[in-house]
Each structure stands twice: as C-alpha cells, then as structure tokens.
Chain A
Amino acid sequence: MTQSNGKKNINLTLKVWRQVGPNVKGRLETYQANNISTDMSFLEMLDVVNEELIINHRDPIAFDHDCREGICGMCGAVVNGRAHGPEKGTTLCQLHMRHFSDRDTVVIEPWRSRAFKIIKDLVVDRSALDVIIQAGGYISVSAGGTPDANVIPVPQEAAEKAMDAAACIGCGACVAACPNASAMLFVGAKVSHLALLPQGVPEAARRVLKMVQKMDECGFGNCTNETECEAVCPKEISITNIARLNREYIKAGFL
C-alpha cells in the first residue's frame, strides 16, 4: 500500500503572513515546522505549529477552516504563490504534506484582493461574495405551493452541467488567483447553475444584470481571460461558465 510505504516525517521552514488587523501593516515571519508526518493535512501541520506557539506564549497563526473535507469553502491561503497550494482541484484542508519535501520552504499568504479585507493573518473578509448572491443568485420561490418535483423534466445533460457549476464552494480562490482580482468565475458559476435549469429561466436576465452590477460595485476586477481562476479552483469549475455569463449578460441587454 502506497500509504504505509510513503510514510515519513519532514521538517519545513514556513514563511507566514502575520497581520494583527485590517489597518495594520503585516509582514512575513519565519517559523520551523519540525517532525511533520506526511500523512497530515496542511491545516493539521498549521495546528502543530500553533500548539507550539501557544505553549511558548506566542500568538498562534489565525486561519479560517471548518469542515476540513473540502466542501465548506471556509479555508484557503496562497501557498508558494498558488491559491490552495500545488495540488490541482484541492482545497487547502485536503492538501496533504506528502506533496512537500524535507527542508522545503513554504510561503503562506492570505487571499489578496481589494474586495477581501484582511481580518487577521490568513483570515480575510469574503462577505462581498455573499452580497453578490443577495443581488440575485437565487430563484424567487417561497416555501410551499411549489409543483410536484417531476412536473418539470430537466434533460440529464442540463442537470449535469448545472451541477458542475453548482459545485462552487465560494472559497474565493478564483479571486485570489486572478491578476485583476475578478470574481467572474464565482459569478459565472452561479449564473450558469441557475440559467441552465428551466426553473431559473424566468429570472435569468434580471439575475445576471444585477449580479454583475453588484460584482462591479464590490470592487472586483474584470476578466481578461488569464484562466488563473480555473487553474486553482478546488472544484475545477470550468471557465466556460464565464463564457456563459458573458452570453447571458449580452442576451439580457437585448431584452
């Protein structure tokens, strides 16, 4: 079994962004992470470092995390220049230390974007993403009074494509990776998810116009087809969703 054969411990040098609050200057600080099992996840490695910091009466590194199984979208940091680290289609919590080598230096920084303020260290404020959803990322139905679920057949292919887009976990890695700090992949995924389903069609035009407007207001940049977002997306959301967003947006303008 590869797991047991590959098992070993490694020592790393970490350079971690430390920043006490949003309006305070931050800097990279160096820490040693010693005797790290390669079976650990990246966040478990940070736990080990933090335990040592606490015992030595130093301030532990603040980082967001929750489910630790790659689905809640809470965690995320830029590791060696890449959002969520080196593995494709992986959130930071699902990145395991077996992808690092003994005596590596690992640089860990927060998401950086005008729309995401730093709260502390690696923790950023991503509420702008919620604000975009509030602008129209839903189908306006209230509880009760809905027709039987099988009244509206949805072609399997459309349902699958909608699901591909709906897999977005809202982590913000796309924004962090984009040179323009654009949220087009995030918005494209939501617009696609709902526009691909017949239930979402009645509001499609209104939805895309409002969400794009809100995205601009929140200070996210524009898409210039760098495709960095797709490369780092832990759910491998395709940039065809950005193309669909653009189509929906243009279509809405003609209505």
Chain B
Amino acid sequence: MQLDSKVPGGPLSEKWDKHLFDLKLVNPANKRKFEIIVVGTGLAGGSASATLAELGYNVKTFCIQDSPRRAHSIAAQGGINAAKNYSNDGDSVWRLFYDTVKGGDYRSREANVYRLAQVSNNIIDQCVAQGVPFAREYGGLLANRSFGGAQVSRTFYARGQTGQQLLIGAYSALSRQIAAGKVKMFTRRDMLDLVLVNGKARGIVTRNLVNGNIETHAADAVVLATGGYGNTFYLSTNAMASNVSAAYSAYKKGAFFANPCYTQIHPTCIPVHGTYQSKLTLMSESLRNDGRVWVPKNPGDKRLPSQISESERDYYLENKYPSFGNLVPRDVASRNAKLQCDQGKGVGETGLAVYLDFKDAIQRDGKDVIAKKYGNLFQMYEKITADNPYETPMMIYPAVHYTMGGLWVDYNLMSTIPGLFVLGEANFSDHGANRLGASALMQGLADGYFIIPYTIGGYLAGTKLEKVSTDDAGFKATAEDVEARIKKLLSIGGKRTVDDFHRQLGNIMWEYCGMARSAKGLTKAKDLIAELRAEFWENVLVSGSGNQFNQSLEKAGHVADFIEFGKLMVLDALARKESCGGHFNEDYQTEENEAKRDDESFCHVAAWEYAGDENEPNFQKEALNFENVTLTQRSYK
C-alpha cells in the first residue's frame, strides 16, 4: 500500500480553503442517518463529539473514566497558542506555522501545520464564547504570555489550569448534546478492539469496566481520540488510565503507526524519589518565563542553594542560548539538564535534578505578581515535595510527557483504514519530532472543532457504506478474540503483578529509548523487551475474574500492549539513524551536543504496518516535502 497524504495542491495558504470547497457535503437531513463512534473525551474527542452532534450526526462517545470531564487533557497547565497577534509583537499565522515546523525539527507535514495555525484563532473565539475564563488584562481584554520555542507572546491561559478550563468547555458543549439526545455517552468503557467490515472501520469492542461485559458497537465511521503512549515508560506525566491499547488494536487491524520513537521529555517535572512512585508531576513550562535554570558550577557541590553564591552558579541555558535563554524548546532544555547531571552537577539527593529559581523574579515583580501567575503551581510543588518555592529554588528534572508519534493519518485525519479517523495526540500529524509548549491543546481542539467535522463529511458522502449490525460475524468474531485474551490473562496465575512488569518495561524504555539513545542500547532493549514479553505471558498474576469491576485485569491488558508497543518504539528509533527533536541518538550529534539531522536520508515520516505478532512490521515512508520553509540546523542561540 502506497501512503497518500492527500494534501491538496495550490499555495500553502489556500490549501485548506480549497479543500473545504472540494470536500463532498452530507445534506443536513441526511446527517441524522449516520452514526459515528468517538472514543475518548479529551480536548479532541470531546470537541469532536459535540461538534459532530451539533451538525446533526448521531454520535456514540466512549470514555474510560467515570465522566467525560476527566480525560487527561485536563492536566495541561500552561496554555494554548493562537496567532491572534493581540500582543502586537509581530505574530501571524505564518509565524505560528513557521515556529511549529521549526520546533518540530522539520519532521512534520507542512500543510497540516499551516492549517493548524490558521484555525488556531477560531479556537480562542470558540472557547471564549463557551465561557472559558481566560486570564484578562485590566481593560477586560485577553492576556497573553510567552512560551518555549517562540519569541512572541501568543499563549492564552487560565491560571495554571488551562487544560482543565478548555476541557470543561468541550465537556459542556458535549453535555449539551447529550441532553439533546444527539450524543449517547458511554462512561467507564475500555476500547479493546476495532471491528472492520469489508476493510472499513465499522465498530468497536469495549469492556464495561463496571460489570465486565464485553460489548460491541456499530457505526458508519470510528474516530479515535485516545491520547498518547507516554505510559509505555511506566513513569510519565500521563494519567494512570492513559494507554495505547485502542490505538494499538487499530494498528493490529491494519492502521499504520507513524514515528513511534518521537517522545517528548518535558524539562520541568518534579524529580523521581522512590520505586513506589506511580507517576511524575509536571510543573508548567510557563514557569521558565520567570524562573531561571541553574546548577552549581562545581560538580558534586552538595551545599544548600542559598549557600551557593551567584559566581558559583551556572545559568547554563542563558549562557549557552543567549537569545532564547530559559525559553528554549523542550527537547533542548531537557537534553541540557541531562548533560549537566551527567557531568555531576545535578542537585538534590539523587543528583538527578536542576534548580528553577524564582528569587530574581520575586525581587523584580514582587511576591504577589508571581503568586498570581503561578500560585497554584507553587502550591502543588510544595504539597508534593514539602519545599516552598517562594523561599528555595524548585528542583526539576525531565520526564516523559507527550508523544508526537501516533497513528498515521492523511490530510483528512483518516488512517490507512478507511473510516478510521484519528485526532489529537493519538495521531502523528502536526508536531514533527518535537512539540512546542501550548500546542497540544491547540491541536486537540483544532482537530475536534474545526477539521474532523468537515473531513468526515467528505468520507461519508463519498463512500458506499453497507448496512452493518453487531450481530454480523465480524463483530462476533472480534468480541470472541477479546474474550479469549481476557481469559488467557486471568488464567496465567503467575508470581509477578502487572505493575511489576510495567515498572520493568519502564526502566528498559527510559534507559535505552529515553532522552539519549544509541544503536547499541536500542538493540539491547529489543532483546530485553522480547524476554519481558515472554515472561509476562507465563508469569503475570491478575486477580479476580472477568465479569466484575477489576482494575488489575484492566491494567493487565494495557501493560500487555505497552510491552509489544515498546518494541515498535525501539524498532523505529533504530531505523531512524539521525537525531531530530525528541529522538536524540548519541551517535548523531553536533560538536555542541545538539541533535544532528540527516535531511538527505530521513526527511520522512516512518510508518509501520503490522505483520503478525512474531514478525517485524513492514516499513513504509511518506516523504516530507518542504516547499515553504528552508530546512536549517535549529539554533536557539
């Protein structure tokens, strides 16, 4: 199968308008004849469900939590970008597009990114109309702040709870459609498989997490908005329920998986402090607007930060990158933190942390101003660490945060399976090899409010869809497969818990497929994962039974998929013999330890096609053509 991105022709700035006109429309009266399944209720899934229902489609929406308001978009703190140029600092759609392509280290699709920048302004209008309480200036107009990887102030925010407020906006729009009877909401459901009929995505199999029932649902199209795969690393900033299983089941059914090795390690997280630790907590990148990152100049300096004088401190980001300073993109900030710690300059008990210091900002602006901007973040930090950041610098360290890779989609956000659309973090399309801060929220809402509502119409209007029912053999067979796997998991009765396996997988991934990779390490990881997978299916211990509320079983299925998916990440990392963005291969770096791309050989999307459990997947590439930006070595100096 040849990958076709379906990017429309014509000048970049006219592609989307032209495409909108070319897309076939579904007559308003006919929209109610179509059923659409949406899996996930984060920013992408929530906004898509609401908008499709507003248009008249019948939507069935699924989420794993007890309420659609809890999806992990809720945890995003810092903000959402838009090219409004309200700050009058020279921003434009073109600049947002350019920053995003450059920030992604020239590994994203130009046309998709340009469209994202174009609709970014509509998102802000939409959210304000919904009542999202963005921060405002005294005059009553919207406030902006700057964020990593940009030199303009284009980020809209609602204290440190921007994700929460945007999600509540999408959730309220969704709630309105639930009340109107246009969305049927299924909570506490875990999507376990995708159902294909005649090669098209026509339904899903879910497990009802309350009573354990295996349920099948049919539709005319399926939209996955199931988030990223950061929890492959066990420890990440993702929520506990975040998993790759829905996307992985689609991959196993024929959807290509693109760039799985692109993972974002966020520079400002609270450092790890014990093996019992279940997750990592991010401190918004917006803190880098006012916080200064430093380590002691002398390796092994274990004095308290207050005892280390100015001249003995190394503000390494400001020194190394004078024009961006503390606001370099995430991948650069993370890698530099690791470099400092590798040189023995790390601080705190483990030596795996750097300082983020607000002393100067507090002196300059006063404690009140800083508290207003970051109060809830400081409070959160103090709760977790028992340190007061108003008095002593924060300690931070990078942690897995976001995954740029995802199911391959074309310009219409459709995967290689007809009728299967993928939105938000679950697809691969807009962030290339590294995502800029405040761009995830933008992408999720762009996909859900302003892209899928049109492109799915084009598919439905232009495709012959046979009538299907959950009584068809395809549904029954898929449900049986799901049930057989659950039975298998429950019957092993080994000696190690699911979490124990997950932790070990996380260690392998962090060590060999984390912030710095190498061919040698990745090859080793491949073997270790294969051993782990074999042991899992012989020695895992899952408690309880299938027909009850059973969190151990839920997790077991997710971890089984994470293990297999980990292998795919490693294979992709091995195949990408260059460094770019979040994929840093130590074998390919500049003299200054920056990522060294190889545009000759690797300016492409790597897409993987499942070829059976025991075989290596097939590799396909989509060449990336840059017609509007010149590829340069990224420099933030």
B336 contacts the other chain (Cβ, under 8 Å)?
A: no
Measured between beta carbons, the chain B residues less than 8 angstroms from A4 are: 349
Q: Report the interface size class on chain A.
A: 35 or more
Query: A48-B276, A65-B240, A139-B172 in contact; A74/B129 too (CB < 8 A)?
Result: no
B159 contacts the other chain (Cβ, under 8 Å)?
A: yes
The answer to whether A134 and B74 have CB atoms under 8 Å apart is no
Q: How far is the CB of B351 from chain A (nearest CB, A)?
A: 13
The answer to whether A143 and B133 have CB atoms under 8 Å apart is no
List of 9 A-B pairs having minimum Cβ-Cβ separation, nearest first:
A153-B140, A138-B172, A146-B129, A163-B133, A149-B128, A142-B54, A134-B179, A162-B133, A66-B239
Give Cα A155–Cα B74 distance, bound, in whole angstroms. Answer: 26
Of residues 115 through 136 on chain A, the ones whose CB sits less than 8 Å from some CB of chain B are 119-120, 123, 125-127, 129-130, 133-135
The answer to whether B133 and A159 have CB atoms under 8 Å apart is yes
Q: Which one of A62, A67, A70, A144 lies within 8 Å of B72 (CB-CB)?
A: A67
Kindly report which residue of chain B lies nearest to residue A66, judged by CB atoms: B239
Q: Which one of A41, A60, A73 lies within 8 Å of B69 (CB-CB)?
A: A73
Kindly report which residue of chain B lies nearest to residue A61, judged by CB atoms: B551
Measured between beta carbons, the chain A residues less than 8 angstroms from B241 are: 66
Measured between beta carbons, the chain B residues less than 8 angstroms from A68 are: 239-240, 278-279, 281
Kindly report which residue of chain A lies nearest to residue B172, judged by CB atoms: A138
Q: Mark B542-576, 1 if CB is under 8 A from A, else 0.
A: 01100011011000000000000000000000000
Give Cα A77–Cα B47 distance, bound, in whole angstroms. Answer: 31
Give Cα A200–Cα B278 distance, bound, in whole angstroms. Answer: 40
B168 contacts the other chain (Cβ, under 8 Å)?
A: yes
B191 contacts the other chain (Cβ, under 8 Å)?
A: no
The answer to whether A59 and B544 have CB atoms under 8 Å apart is yes
Kindly report which residue of chain A lies nearest to residue B242, judged by CB atoms: A66
Measured between beta carbons, the chain B residues less than 8 angstroms from A152 are: 128
Give residues in A with beta carbon < 8 Å to B: 1-4, 6, 37, 39-41, 43-44, 47-48, 51, 53-55, 57-60, 62, 64-74, 87, 89-90, 94, 96, 98, 119-120, 123, 125-127, 129-130, 133-135, 137-144, 146-150, 152-156, 159, 162-163, 166-167, 169-170, 193-194, 197, 199-200
Give Cα A194–Cα B187 distance, bound, in whole angstroms. Answer: 26
Measured between beta carbons, the chain B residues less than 8 angstroms from A39 are: 273-274
Of residues 445 through 471 on chain B, the ones whose CB sits less than 8 Å from some CB of chain A are 449-450, 453
Query: A2-B386, A68-B240, A125-B66 in contact; A62/B131 too (CB < 8 A)?
Result: no
The answer to whether A94 and B129 have CB atoms under 8 Å apart is no
Known: A74-B66, A138-B130. 17 other contacts (CB 8 A): A37-B274, A59-B543, A62-B551, A69-B237, A69-B282, A72-B70, A73-B67, A73-B70, A119-B210, A127-B187, A130-B175, A138-B175, A143-B449, A143-B450, A163-B133, A193-B133, A199-B131
Give Cα A43–Cα B551 distance, bound, in whole angstroms. Answer: 14
The answer to whether B128 and A146 have CB atoms under 8 Å apart is yes
Measured between beta carbons, the chain B residues less than 8 angstroms from A197 are: 131, 133
Measured between beta carbons, the chain B residues less than 8 angstroms from A167 are: 159, 161, 164
Measured between beta carbons, the chain A residues less than 8 angstroms from B450 are: 143-144
Measured between beta carbons, the chain A residues less than 8 angstroms from B187 are: 127
Give Cα A44–Cα B240 distance, bound, in whole angstroms. Answer: 12
Give residues in B with beta carbon < 8 Å to A: 47, 50-51, 54, 65-70, 72, 74-75, 84, 86, 122, 124-131, 133-142, 158-159, 161, 163-165, 168, 171-173, 175-176, 178-179, 185, 187, 210, 237, 239-241, 273-274, 276-279, 281-282, 304, 348-349, 379-380, 383-387, 392, 449-450, 453, 495, 497, 499-500, 541, 543-544, 548-549, 551-552
The answer to whether A94 and B136 have CB atoms under 8 Å apart is no
- Could you list 21 examples of A-B contacts with CB < 8 Å? A39-B274, A47-B278, A51-B500, A57-B543, A68-B279, A69-B282, A69-B380, A126-B66, A126-B67, A127-B187, A133-B69, A139-B131, A139-B172, A143-B453, A149-B124, A149-B127, A166-B133, A167-B161, A167-B164, A170-B67, A199-B128
Query: A62-B549, A141-B129, A143-B54 in contact; A1/B387 too (CB < 8 A)?
Result: yes
Query: A1-B387, A48-B276, A72-B75 in contact; A143/B392 too (CB < 8 A)?
Result: no
Give Cα A13–Cα B548 distance, bound, in whole angstroms. Answer: 28
The answer to whether A51 and B304 have CB atoms under 8 Å apart is no
Query: A1-B392, A197-B131 in contact; A150/B386 too (CB < 8 A)?
Result: no
The answer to whether B175 and A6 have CB atoms under 8 Å apart is no
The answer to whether B179 and A139 have CB atoms under 8 Å apart is no
Query: A37-B274, A39-B274, A134-B178 in contact; A54/B552 too (CB < 8 A)?
Result: yes
Secondary structure dominating the interface of A? loop
Kindly report which residue of chain A lies nearest to residue B388, judged by CB atoms: A2
Measured between beta carbons, the chain B residues less than 8 angstroms from A6 are: 386
The answer to whether B175 and A156 have CB atoms under 8 Å apart is no
Give Cα A4–Cα B282 distance, bound, in whole angstroms. Answer: 21
Q: How far is the CB of B179 from chain A (nearest CB, A)?
A: 4
Measured between beta carbons, the chain A residues less than 8 angstroms from B282 are: 69
Give Cα A247–Cα B250 distance, bound, in whole angstroms. Answer: 51
Kindly report which residue of chain A lies nearest to residue B383, judged by CB atoms: A94
Q: How far is the CB of B61 from chain A (nearest CB, A)?
A: 12
Q: Which one of A58, A127, A149 lies within 8 Å of B142 (CB-CB)?
A: A149
Q: How far is the CB of A100 from chain B (nearest CB, A)?
A: 14
The answer to whether B142 and A47 have CB atoms under 8 Å apart is no
The answer to whether A147 and B125 have CB atoms under 8 Å apart is yes
Measured between beta carbons, the chain B residues less than 8 angstroms from A87 are: 383
The answer to whether A199 and B129 have CB atoms under 8 Å apart is yes
Give Cα A140–Cα B180 distance, bound, in whole angstroms. Answer: 11
The answer to whether A200 and B131 have CB atoms under 8 Å apart is yes
Query: A138-B175, A143-B51 in contact; A150/B141 too (CB < 8 A)?
Result: yes
The answer to whether B176 and A134 have CB atoms under 8 Å apart is yes
Give Cα A60–Cα B549 distance, bound, in whole angstroms. Answer: 11
The answer to whether A67 and B131 have CB atoms under 8 Å apart is no
The answer to whether A159 and B172 have CB atoms under 8 Å apart is no
The answer to whether A71 and B274 have CB atoms under 8 Å apart is no
The answer to whether B161 and A71 have CB atoms under 8 Å apart is yes
Measured between beta carbons, the chain B residues less than 8 angstroms from A154 are: 136, 140
